Amino acid sequence: MRYDLDDLRLFLHVVTEGSITAGARRMHLSLPSASARVRSLEHHAGVTLLIRGRRGVRPTPAGTTLARHARDVLDRVARLDSAVAGYTRSPTAPLVLLAGGSAMHRLVPRALVSFLRAHPDVDVTVSESRTPRTVRMLADGEADLGVVLDDEARDCGLRMEPLGDDSLVVVGQAGGILSGRTALTYSEVAEHPLVGLDADSSLRRWIEKHLGPHAPAVRYRTTVTDLNVLVALAAAGVGLAVVPRRALAPDQTLDVCALQDPWARRHHLLARGIKAHPTPTATTALADHLHQAALADASP
């Protein structure tokens, strides 16, 4: 049987998203077209690949096997494309990736490790950048990809893809003042001593922007530049901290409460830039690694 690479990509997206509709959206296909491609794949394979239900789809054992081998095939094809493209692309023109502070903490490093190992001929320049600046640079053709926040990137005219939850939570020492609580407002958090990021950090400025002029008075016992240090201080009982939930490692021992304020619920989007001399294969590959890293980050 001869497999079409786009069909394999579509099938992987469908399995990953648990939905033919979502898989079609990732491939920029209509639902009827995507459904026809999946049915054709099943017909030529001679086996059922997906179990369809009211809430989505899940792979059969044959579908799981196909997805595993498809992922390997597509990864090898990406390496081949990257190796050949290396002869036509200037080594002084790396991909440019921009991301905010929370994405730079775990998501971007995880994606970079897998991408750079898989694509030894492609270089990446990474910079921390707030969403408004990232959007401007992408629109001006000065960057290839950007991880942005949904509420600050609406209607900007760029191609956007959902990347994952980046909601904020409050953390503190296990068994401390958060014990027994599942959610609270920022006003309640501000009644206690806090530890926070530096005033120039993208997360601190984002929070203060949404609190507005009537923000409650806050006592910061100390401010730091690194999310790892911030979480460690909160876990040690120095003070409460407001951080993205995805900044927390699954094995960390601390109390975590959701923030009830509407502005605390936010999502990451992956935005694609408009460059004069694009490298579509490498850009698409890096985007795929960012999506995979986001899924892995959310798994625990």
- Structural domains of the chain, ranges and CATH numbers in brackets: 5-85 (1.10.10.10), 95-165+267-298 (3.40.190.10), 168-264 (3.40.190.10)
Pairing of strands 194-197, 220-224: parallel
Cα gap 151→207, rounded to integer Å: 13
Per-residue exposure over 202-238, b if at least 16 CB sit within 10 Å of its own CB, e if not: bbbebbeebbeeeeeebeeeeebeebeebbbbbbeeb
Cα separation, 285 vs 289, in Å, equals 6
The conformation of residue 240, written as its DSSP 8-state character, comes to B
How remote is the C-alpha of 99 from its chain's centroid? Answer: 10
Please give the Cα distance from 163 to 244 (Å, whole number): 14
**What predicted TM-score, i.e. pTM, was given to this entire model?**
0.64
For residue 153, the model assigns a pLDDT of 80
Which pLDDT score, from 0 to 100, does residue 90 have? 52
Per-residue pLDDT at 291: 93
Assess whether pLDDT exceeds 60 at residue 276.
no
Asked whether the predicted pLDDT for residue 299 surpasses 50, the reply is: no
177-202 pLDDT, tens digit per residue, is: 999 999 999 999 999 999 999 988 88
Residues 207-222 have pLDDT tens digits of: 888 888 878 888 999 9
Task: Annotate 59-102 with DSSP letters as a single string.
Answer: E-HHHHHHHHHHHHHHHHHHHHHHHHHTTTS-TT--EEEEE-HH
For the chain, what percent of residues have pLDDT higher than 90? 48
Q: If pLDDT is split at 50, 70 and 90, which confidence band does 204 have? A: confident
